[in-house]
Amino acid sequence: MAAESNDKGAGAKRWVRVLLVVSLALNLLFIGSIAGAMLTHSKWRSHHPPRLDMAAGPLTQALSREDRRAIGREMRKAYRSAGANRADLQAGFEALIADLKQEPFDSEAVAKHLERHRGVFDERLALGQTLLLERLTQMQPDERADYAARLLDALQQRKHWKGHRD
């Protein structure tokens, strides 16, 4: 009879343990989701993915989704056709890293690397501006007016958020 009461006690203890583990797991899940929401919606994080939107800020944010995608496709096509530039850029970064590790530090050599990289980024920005201008030229007057209104909204929104960061 004593053995039967021990089996019932062990079964009850096992059930309580399972309940506690499940409760702990749910609490951790809840806390993790709250923390994740706070981190991803904080005022220090961007509220849009780092894509074409980041290249020109409000100018691209104000575009319609279709226009952003079309410009993005054209930019990717141009990047692919300039595959040699990618290899040059990688080699430039490797040379920059080597010069950063060099002792004594040669600021002129690093400045030359940075200047070359800026040239590549300037080319990409110019391509983006050219594609944006082409897209704007293809728009009907009412579409450009809608774009202008969205651009104004994006600029006002940016101004609003900038005030919160300061």
Domain boundaries, the chain: 1-42, 52-165
Query: Does residue 29 contact residue 150 with C-beta atoms inside 8 Å?
Result: no
pTM of structure: 0.54
Q: What is the largest CA-CA distance in the chain?
A: 91
29 confidence band (pLDDT: 50, 70, 90):
confident
In which band, very low, low, confident or very high, does the pLDDT at 154 lie, cut at 50, 70 and 90?
A: confident
Nearest to 125 by CA among 61, 50, 60: 60
Question: According to the model, what pLDDT value does residue 166 have?
Answer: 46
How many of the other CB atoms lie within 10 Å of CB of 118?
Answer: 10
**Selected residue with higher pLDDT from 137 and 22:** 137
Q: What is the pLDDT of residues 86-131, one digit of tens each?
A: 677 788 888 889 988 989 988 898 888 888 888 878 888 888 888 8
As a whole number, mean pLDDT of residues 7-21 equals 75
Provide the residue type at 154 as one letter. A
Q: State the average pLDDT over residues 57-70.
A: 84
Query: 47 φ, ψ to 5°?
Result: -105, 20
**Dihedral sign, CA of 59, 65, 67, 71?**
positive
Asked if the model's pLDDT at residue 25 lies above 90, the reply is no
| Helix ranges, 102-140 (H) | 107-138
Q: For position 46, what pLDDT does the model report?
A: 46
DSSP 139: S
